[in-house]
Amino acid sequence: MKLVVALGGNALQADGKPATAEAQLCTVKATVTHLADLIASGHQIVIVHGNGPQVGRLVLQNEYAKPVTPPMPFDVCGAMSQGLIGYHIQQALQEELKRRHIDKPVATLLTQVVVDPQDAGFQNPTKPIGPFYTQEEAEALKKEQGYILVEDSGRGYRRVVASPEPKRIVELATIQELVGHEQIVITVGGGGIPVVETENHTLAGVAAVIDKDLAAERLAEDLGADGLIILTAVEKVSLHYGKPEQQDLNQITVQEAERYITDGQFAAGSMLPKVRAGVKFVTSQPGRMAIITSLEKANEALTGKSGTRIVP
């Protein structure tokens, strides 16, 4: 099958490990073994990844370095994060495929994604970026930097920025060309660099982070993929997550998913966009498959032995 695989933050940076390039590469090397399993099973994959922690840290680095060098704007930091994460994934995956004697080229494509400047996301920031903070640290950052910080699924406080809906992938034709030649493409990283179309029909970057799951869904539709596989830190989607009455879901219909969304079962900065992306993909055309599961269970989920499958 042709699969668009969306990697969550746990696939790039392990809990409890330092936020260094060396630690990230070590985590990525473990991650790509699961991607290589999919490739070895005969699937054609296109890889999308998040960038919340990385772009958040790049912005922090820029702000603290103001006295010695001009800070880069938010969209440029997004481009930088696309490059550094793509570099790590492609290097690690090339090595893993070579070890398995699989001859497949791997390429990272810097990707812009058009958003609507009037998108409601700009008035209601929800996308978490950067590290987790205690409540005291969050209050200090609100006062000192003017950040908007919210509590994130019981894990601490994180800065949130605008997360507009992806409308169009600018480099789509290039992605299609590479995929058509059976290259493994890492693209739409971090949801893509958010840009708007100007009156002069040019593109201009904006300060936002597009949700990578929704961008992966847009890409999967555009490529005519058979499946959208969203890999995250948990094996299955759950109701009442983290509570004594937590209920893991093996399969949900679109109607059930929409009801759970209305009931507020899924956190805005974590599971909600994943479920929304899955619903949108399976309803876009008959026969399409959407699965949400953990990185380690990706292969099992494709055979129905794990994960949460969203069905029409």
* Residue 169, helix vs strand vs coil: strand
Active site residues: 9-10, 127, 212, 274
What pLDDT was estimated at residue 270?
84
Confidence check: pLDDT of 131 > 80: no
* Per-residue confidence (pLDDT) for residue 21, from 0 to 100: 92
When mean pLDDT is compared over 56-60, 106-110, 131-135, the highest value belongs to 106-110
pLDDT above 70 coverage of the chain, percent: 100
* Angle, CA 205 vertex, CA 267 and CA 19 arms, to 5°: 55
**Taking the complete model, does pTM exceed 0.75, yes or no?**
yes
Q: What is the mean pLDDT of residues 4-32?
A: 90
Tell me which of 283 and 207 has the higher pLDDT.
283
Q: Which residue has the higher pLDDT, 265 or 128?
A: 265
150: how many CB neighbours lie within 10 A of its CB?
A: 14
- The strand pair at 168-169 and 112-114 is best described as antiparallel
Q: Is the pLDDT of residue 130 over 80?
A: no
Tokens read off for 186:
């890492």
Q: Which range has the worst mean pLDDT, 45-49, 148-152, 165-169?
A: 148-152
Whether residue 74 contacts residue 208, with contact meaning beta carbons closer than 8 Å, is answered with yes
**Residue 17 pLDDT > 90:** no
Q: Quick one: pLDDT at residue 260?
A: 96
pLDDT band at 185 (very low <50, low <70, confident <90, very high): very high
- Average the pLDDT over 56-72 and give the result: 88
- Can you list the alpha helix ranges (DSSP code H) found in the chain? 21-40, 52-64, 74-99, 135-145, 172-180, 212-223, 254-262, 271-284, 298-302
Strand partners, 128: 160
Instruction: Identify any residues that bridge with 149 across adjacent strands, giving them in sequence order.
Output: 159
The one-character DSSP state at 226 is S
Between 160 and 226, whose confidence is greater?
Answer: 226
Structure tokens, 46: 């296109």
Q: What share of the chain is helix, strand, coil (3-state, %, to 5)?
A: 40, 25, 35
Residue 301 pLDDT: 94
- Residue 48: strand pairing partners: 6
Task: Report the share of the chain in percent with pLDDT over 90.
Answer: 74
User: Residue 272: what pLDDT?
Assistant: 94
What is the rounded distance in angstroms from the CA atom of residue 48 to the CA atom of residue 76? 19
Mean pLDDT value of segment 217-238: 96
Please compute the mean of the pLDDT values over residues 189-201 and round it to a whole number: 94
* pLDDT band of 271, cuts 50, 70, 90: very high
Q: Which of the residue ranges 56-60, 85-89, 224-228, 281-285 would you say has the lowest mean pLDDT?
A: 56-60
- How far is C-alpha 101 from the geometric centre of its chain's CA atoms? 29
Mean of pLDDT values over 279-297: 95
Q: What is the mean pLDDT of the chain?
A: 93
Mean pLDDT across 264-274: 89
Residue 108 tokens read as 């990272």
Amino acid identity of residue 64, one-letter, is: Y
Q: What stretch of H or E contains 231?
A: strand 227-232
Write the DSSP symbol of residue 287: T
DSSP assignments along 96-117, one per residue = HHHHTT----EEE---EEE--T
| pLDDT number for residue 187 | 98
